[in-house]
Structure 1
Amino acid sequence: MRQHASLLMACAMLAGCASLKHQQREASEGDLHLSGRLSVQVAGVAGGKASGGNGAFELSGQPTAGQLELSTPLGSLVARAVWRDGDVRLQTPEDERRFDDLDALTREMLGEAIPVAALFDWLQGKPWSQAAHTAQGTGFEQLGWQIDLSHFGEGLIVATRKAEPAVTLKARIDKT
């Protein structure tokens, strides 16, 4: 799993890496569209090597049906996650794979499971309505993640999971 995530991140560093074509998702009522820069760092476990990477992202749709595209810092699209009605797919320039759920897909894509359903709300600076949360300082804790909103006015959200392996996700949202 981490090898595939590392491969995606390595592609993000190579200008000549093959890429997908950007694909607009057909919008539905209530859809969200966010774009910006994303950084994911996964700490090493028991002396293992840490992994991570960064690039641009476009998140559209809803927790039940949506799309997440990841691009290199130079703009080449290296991965697209698409989900709807129990169909969860990851498209890369090399192939397309199906997954049981979004957790399995993000584990493959980013090295660890990221709660995408909650991410839709977190990136808007609010707790996900489908799970309990605790207010803390300039943010909140939810689903085992600490969400720091101290720089939300500047478009920066930092989500940290302390459980091993520790994961830090930083998203800078483009202003529209």
Structure 2
Amino acid sequence: MRALSRGFRRLGSALLLAALAACAHGPRHADMRAAMQARPDPDAPLTRSFSGKLSVQVPPQPGQRVAQGGSGSFELLGDAGQGQLELSTPTGSLLARVRWSPTSVSLEQPKEQRSYDSLDALTLELLGESVPVAALFDWLRGRPWSGAAAALLPAPEQGFEQLGWRVQTDRLAEGLLSAHQLGGRSATLRVRLARED
């Protein structure tokens, strides 16, 4: 794996965790059990985009003195098969655009473009570990991915754990989402979704 700058790793973390953040739209805790049992139509496209503000915090890793993190705006459109994710600075300047289709995955930045074999390969290089990208698109619909076991959080908490992530949905009515990686880099994500008109 090529050595990447700390800033590039932060950008990668923010880009991929932004996708997770969009899972804030979805069923309430009372409907979560039914959503876990229902298999969604895999051919149904995601017809709307998700956007908002996000912040990411990654605790210091061995040999690091300070935590990594950042904040900005994101916009996500598509599904697991084809889509686009943009990350911008708080002032609106585009930091990066990730595009994927059945035949390609690319990361575009103002002065660089890179191609990858898969979204998993992109996440492995940027974060040092694979992120369950296939699951993110069911998470976008506010339910666990049907391809892996999941567990509801104990009442009165709202949300679920799946594939090493604890997704908390108790503040969705306010447009807020928190997600915590269990183990690994132990990343924490906080998102405020843009209100729909």
Same fold per TM (> 0.5)?
yes
- Using CA pairs below 8 Å that are at least 6 residues apart, which structure has the higher relative contact order? 2
Match of 2:45 among 25, 30, 49: 30
- For residues 121 and 78 of structure 1, the distance between their equivalents in structure 2, rounded to whole angstroms, comes to 26
Give TM-score scaled by structure 1 length: 0.77
**Does 1:148 pair with 2:149?**
no
Aligned to 2:111: 94
List aligned pairs for 1:97-176, cutoff 5 A.
97-107=114-124, 113-137=130-154, 138-176=158-196
* One-letter identity of the residue aligned with 1:6: G
CA-CA distance at 1:148 after TM superposition? 0.7
SS at match of 2:110: coil
* Aligned 8 A contact 2:49 2:76 in 1: yes
SS at match of 1:126: coil
- For residues 5 and 104 of structure 1, the distance between their equivalents in structure 2, rounded to whole angstroms, comes to 18
Structure that is richer in helix per residue: 2
* One-letter identity of the residue aligned with 2:111: E
Aligned to 1:39: 55
Aligned to 1:23: none
- CA 1:41–1:70 in structure 2 vs 1: closer, same or farther (change >3 Å)? same
**Does 1:6 pair with 2:26?**
no
**Does 1:75 pair with 2:76?**
no
* CA RMSD in angstroms, aligned pairs only: 2.6
- For residues 100 and 37 of structure 1, the distance between their equivalents in structure 2, rounded to whole angstroms, comes to 29
Unaligned ranges ≥5, structure 2: 12-42
- CA 1:96–1:57 in structure 2 vs 1: closer, same or farther (change >3 Å)? same
CA-CA distance at 1:139 after TM superposition? 1.0
CA-CA distance at 1:108 after TM superposition? 5.0
SS at match of 2:122: helix
Map Cα deviations across residues 19-51 of structure 1 (whole Å, 9 max, x no partner): xxxxxxxxx962241111122222222242421
Give TM-score scaled by structure 2 length: 0.70
* One-letter identity of the residue aligned with 2:79: Q
- For residues 158 and 69 of structure 1, the distance between their equivalents in structure 2, rounded to whole angstroms, comes to 20
- CA 1:124–1:70 in structure 2 vs 1: closer, same or farther (change >3 Å)? same
* One-letter identity of the residue aligned with 2:45: G
Unaligned ranges ≥5, structure 1: 11-27
SS at match of 1:44: coil
Identity %: 46
Paired residue total: 159
**Bigger shift: residues 115-124 or 64-73:** 115-124
